[in-house]
Structure 1
Amino acid sequence: MWSDHTGRVAHNRGGGCRVKNYELVLHRVEADLAAGRLRIGGRLPGERTLAEQLGISRPSVREAVRVLEAMGVVRTATGSGPEAGAVIVAEPVSPLTAVLRLHLATNHLPMSDVVQTRILLESWSAREAAGRAPGLDAAELKVADDLLDRMDADGLSPEEFHLLDAEFHVALSGLAGNVLIAAVMASLRSAIHGYVLAAVPNLPDWEAMAVTLRGEHRAIVAAIRAGEPESAAELVTAHIRGFYQAAQLQTP
């Protein structure tokens, strides 16, 4: 299959794998986005137009639009008014979250691999955030500070604490200023919360662990605020590994 300078997509006539009809639409949209013919906020051509241009059926176009919507690339609205149709958006977090949760449910992604991924992403993010410390927006740091204060509240259940904990780690990753890293961490949030909470019964003393985690959280933020990249990265790594070791779970 190939895409010409107009963005039209054609079948590869030289043999090889047969492309499903709906995939023609996906490739067309990808080519148009890459070439700047489609932009965020723009609309896909109508169903009939795409079907005629690509030589496929309208049901195939509808299937492609449903796939694009599930991928967070378009948002659709029914009807015939100005808001109807498929609009280009950029919402990768929800589809990434769904995919990760499904694969975790199959046990295809070992917990040790997820922990290692957290360490890689979060230690890098903490290092970068600390390097940006002089220029960090006070509002960005305030999000993390507010979550820390909420975790200090009396009477929090482990589930309530770890929901805030997951939000805190997402907020920390956002301080690095990397949109993709932030999206991946946001997608991991529910997975992190799920198996962190499942580990709580393995802890010999949850109350003591909660005190430890609070102190470690504040030390990480302090290192970032002070502009200490290596210290911030080491503290995050020790924080993540320490919890899983305390819960007697395998860690990388």
Structure 2
Amino acid sequence: MKLQVNQVSVSLGGKQILHDVDLDVAPGEFVGLIGPNGSGKSTLLRTIYRSVRPAAGTVHLGEQDVWGMSARTAARHTAAVLQNCPTPPGLTVREVAELGRTPHHGMFDRNGHTDREIVDAALARTGMADHADRIYGSLSGGERQRVLLARALAQEPKLLVLDEPTNHLDIRARFELLELVHTVGVTTLAVLHDLDLAARSCDRLVVLDGGRVVAVGPVLEALSPAVLSEVFGVTAATERHDDGIVRVTYGARPLARAS
């Protein structure tokens, strides 16, 4: 399902964080949201999954305005995997994944056969089926992120938003998680700090700086040498190698503003 952000502005604590942001994500597309610290990336995500109401502008998922939906309906459409996501202590992997079915039930409903099948499929898809009875808190960082992704998939969302999903993971776990996300086939918008991971994993990139979109497009266009210098302060270039992967190459003096 298509995500469309139109002229969104957000103010927090009397300070404007986002300025007239426009953003489109096509159905099934994996778009990376990048930019320096404080550029407004996480605030934009929070606006999309209804945590922060915009002062102006609209957010549409398909034909529906997400801020015109009920909270339960919005949760059926959009699943979020966030940094430091609080999880009740002592839950098993399966119990955490089952939380993804909550938006589909009333307050006193219980999971039925169809719910169990959906949760089983989500755990299998994320490679966590064999760990279903383990305590979530006993898992490694990469395994926990897979469980949170399973919970998100159990929501059967039309849109998946990820806020730094690879934070604190080792390099293998980072590659595995983003490759997994890419195979899911759900429209995805992900905040990423690692430019190399963003370059190799995303279909397109949106670059934020100072709460404004300053570049958008395929990786080689969005991460041009000018953008890398002006926005990120580094001397670097992107190039697609023979294996099809786009990589960022930094100059001998990588700090652009030090030259």
Q: Given the two structures, how large is their TM-score scaled by the length of structure 1?
A: 0.25
More strand by share: 2
Answer 1 or 2: higher relative contact order, Cα 8 Å, separation at least 6: 2
Structure with greater proportional helix content = 1
